[in-house]
Structure 1
C-alpha cells in the first residue's frame, strides 16, 4: 500500500504508513472529498478506520476537523471507545466551520452512526450473575431511569449519560423520583447494600473518651489502655494524628489539603484495613479502570499513552483489585459547593470505570463475577460520605454511610466513635467483597467467551465535557485526555 508523505514532522510519515485507505492514497489531498468518501462507504465503521487515520494526521486539514477525525478514528479502532466526543465536535463543526459542504457531511454521517450505535440496548438477561431487573412494587425502575436518561441528554454533567442512577441525597435521579412519587409510595433503595455499623464499638469508644475534656487527657487514656485491646491501640494512633492537627492549628501556617487528610483520616481508615490485609495507597494514585478505558485500543508502539485520573487514595485487595476510591477536599470547612459537586462527579465516573475493569478482570481470571460492588469515600468540609456503586440493569450510586469529622477537642467524644465505626464497617465490607471474589465459581471457556462478548455491550464512560472558560494551548488542540 502506498504512503502519503508530508513535510515537517517525520513521525507523522511513519505513523501514516500503518493503515491508510486506498481512497486517500490514490488521490492528492486537494482531490479529497469527505462527502464522496462517505457515500462510497455508508455506515461501515471498519472502512473509516483507515480514512480517519489519514485525515487526522494531515497537516493541511482545519484543526477542528483533525481533532474530530482523530477521536473518531480512536473510537472505530476500539469497540470499547466512546462516542460522546464525536457528538460534541460534530455539533460544533456543523455550526462553526466555514467549509460547510465537506465538514457538515462528515459530521452528519458520523452523528448518524452515533445514534445508530446508542439505540442498541444491551441484553443482560443471558447472564445469571448480573442482575438486569430493578423494581419497586409494580414500578420498573430501569425503564423509569431510561426515560429520565433521555430527558437529560442535553446536560453535559448528568451522570445519567453514563448510565448511572444517582440515588445519593440530593442526587439527580433521587430528585426525579421525589417529584414523581409521594413519600412512601416508592422504595428505590430496597435492594441497595446496607452497612452494618458496630454499635458496641461506638459505646466502647465513648466510654474511653467521654470522661475527659481535653485531647491530651483522651490520648493518655487510650494509651494507658493500649495493653488491654488492639482497639485502644488503634484509637491511640488516630488521636496521635489529631495531636499534630491541634499543634498545627495553633501556628500561623494554613494547613494544606494533604496535611489535613493525613492527620485526620489516614490512621482512622488504615487501622481496620490493616487487620484485613488490605492496602491503602496514598496521594495521586492512578485509577486503573480509568487508565484502561482511556488507552484500550491504542497501539503501544505508535500511540501516546494517556495518563489515568489520579485519586487522593485507593484501597486495593491483595491481588491488586481497586475497591475503594477516595477524594478529599479541604477538611477545615473551606471546601466550596462547586468543588464538592465536582469531586462527587469524579468519584461516580471513576467507580464505573473501576466496576467495569473488576468485572473484566474476574472474567479474565475465569471467575464468575456476582454481586460486584465498588466503593467511594468523599471527604469535604467536616463530613465523610461513603458510597457504593452496583449494577441492576443500570449502575446505581447511593450512600451507605455518613459521619462528621471532629475538628475540635469538644467534639471528639461525640463524633469520633461514629467516624471510626464507619471506617471499620467500610473495611469489613471491602473484605467481604474480596472473599466473594476469591470464592467465585469458575467459568468454563464457553462461559468466559459469552460473558466477554456481553460485557463489550457496556458503553465506555464518556469523556469530560470541554470547559468553555478554559483556554487551551495550541499543542492541546487534539488532546484526548479526560478526567
Structure 2
C-alpha cells in the first residue's frame, strides 16, 4: 500500500515516450504560430526563423518571407496593421534581385529579447536534459551555467555522481538537484574542503536591518530565562516597536498551552503544533519584512503548471497540485514553501519524504518564476527560492538556485521551545534564524 501511494504521489520521475512526443509536438506548434527570439542591433538584423531580410528587385521574396510567419501575422501585415519594418533597423523593401538570405547570426549584445520558453522546463531533468537544452536556455536568462569553487569543478563532479552512482528511489540527483546539505549522497562524495565550499552561504547581518533587535533580545531573552521570565520582561518593552510586537505574538500562541502545563502537550496534532509553535516564528519574521504568507493546504503553482503542460484538458483530466503547509509570496510568486510534521515523535520516514517533496516543489516554483519573469524582463542573476522542513522540534531552512544544475543548500536551523524551562535561549535563536 505504501509503495502504491509513493508511486502515485511522486510519479513524474521519468517522462514517458508518449509524453515527450506530446511535448515535442506542442513545441513545434508553438514555433509555427509565434515569432521566436528576435534580436535587433545597430549592425545586425535577423529573425531566428529566417527569411525576410532582402533588398529591392523581386516580389517572390515577399511570399518567401511571409511563408515563415504565422497566419495571424501575415493577415496583420497585409491589412496594414503591422509594419514589417519593426523587425529590422533599416527600411525594408519587398523587391529584391538578390534572394540570398544571410545565415542567422546572434549578436553579442542584443537590445531586444523576446523569449518563448514554454517547452524548456516541463521535461523532468533526467540524464542529459539538465546539462543540455535547459542549462543553455537558463544561461541566456542570466543564470549561471558553471559551478566552480577555486579550481574545483563541482558541476562536473555532480554530473559524474548522478550518472555513475546507483541512485535510490527518492534521490534528488535524478531530478537534477545537487543536494549539498549535510548527509546527502552527493555531499558524502566530496572532500571535507569541497563540502565546505559547496555548502557555503552568504548571510546578511540582520543587525543592520533591525538595529533594535540585539538590545531587545538581550533584555527579554537572556539564556537562563524561563517562559515566565520572558513574559515579565516583555511587558516592560515599548509595544510600538515592531520587534516587540513580533515577540508578543509568539508568546500569545504559547500562552494557552503554558496556562495548564509547563510543557506543550505531547498529544498535540501536526496542524496545532505547526500553527502555534513553529509558524509564529516564521510568519512573524516574514511580516516584519513585508512579505505576505499563507498556511495549510496551499496549492504549489509551479507543480501544477509542470504536470499540466502539454495536456489537452478538453480530453484529459487536469492534474492537481501538491499542497504546501506554508507559503510566502512576492506578488503571485511562491518564494518560500514549508512542510510540517508532529512536534513530538513524528515517523522517521516522513522526514525523508517531506524533504523530497519540498525540494521538488521548490524546483517547480523556481522554474515557474523564471518563466513568468522572462515574459517581460530579464530574471535576476542567481535567483533563489526558499523552503523549510519541520521535524519534531527542529526546522531546517533551505535555498535553491541554478548553476548548470539546481543547487540545494541549508541556510539555517532552529529548535523551537516546547517547555517553559530555558524558553528564552531557544526563542532568541529562533527569532534570529527566521529574521
TM-score between the two structures when normalised by the length of structure 2: 0.66
C-alpha distance in 2 between matches for 1:191 and 1:136:
10
Q: Which one of 357, 363, 366 corresponds to residue 352 of structure 1?
A: 363
**Do the aligned partners of residues 351 and 134 (structure 1) sit closer, same or farther apart at CA in structure 2, a change above 3 Å counting?**
same
Aligned match of 1:78: 23
**Do the aligned partners of residues 153 and 296 (structure 1) sit closer, same or farther apart at CA in structure 2, a change above 3 Å counting?**
farther
**Do the aligned partners of residues 175 and 116 (structure 1) sit closer, same or farther apart at CA in structure 2, a change above 3 Å counting?**
closer
Aligned match of 1:476: none
Aligned match of 1:261: 274
Write the mapping of 1:185-264 to structure 2, written as runs, cut at 5 A: 187-189=196-198, 192-194=201-203, 196-198=205-207, 201-202=213-214, 204-210=216-222, 213-227=225-239, 229-247=241-259, 254-264=267-277
Deviation of 1:185 (Å): 6.0
Question: Does the 8 A contact of 1:387 with 1:397 survive in 2?
Answer: yes
Question: Does the 8 A contact of 2:187 with 2:195 survive in 1?
Answer: no
Write the mapping of 1:19-34 to structure 2, written as runs, cut at 5 A: none
C-alpha distance in 1 between matches for 2:301 and 2:342:
25
Q: Which one of 139, 150, 153 corresponds to residue 140 of structure 1?
A: 153
Deviation of 1:121 (Å): 2.4
| Cα offsets for 1:233-286 (capped at 9, x unmatched) | 211110111112334757988211100111112222222322333221110111
Aligned length: 317
C-alpha distance in 2 between matches for 1:120 and 1:166:
16
Question: Which moves more between the two structures, 154-163 or 378-387?
Answer: 154-163
Aligned match of 2:44: none
C-alpha distance in 1 between matches for 2:127 and 2:158:
20
Aligned match of 1:314: 327
Unmatched segments (≥5 aa) in structure 1: 1-69, 82-113, 425-483
C-alpha distance in 1 between matches for 2:160 and 2:216:
48
What SS does the aligned partner of 1:78 have? helix
Question: Does the 8 A contact of 1:219 with 1:240 survive in 2?
Answer: no
Question: Does the 8 A contact of 2:179 with 2:408 survive in 1?
Answer: yes
Deviation of 1:336 (Å): 2.8
C-alpha distance in 2 between matches for 1:355 and 1:171:
21
Q: Which one of 184, 190, 204 corresponds to residue 193 of structure 2?
A: 184
Deviation of 1:133 (Å): 1.1
What SS does the aligned partner of 1:293 have? helix
Q: In angstroms, what is the RMSD of aligned CA positions?
A: 3.0
Deviation of 1:310 (Å): 0.5
Question: Does the 8 A contact of 2:219 with 2:233 survive in 1?
Answer: no
Q: Aligned pair 1:294/2:322, yes or no? A: no
**Do the aligned partners of residues 147 and 247 (structure 1) sit closer, same or farther apart at CA in structure 2, a change above 3 Å counting?**
same
Unmatched segments (≥5 aa) in structure 2: 1-14, 27-124
Select the structure that is richer in helix: 1
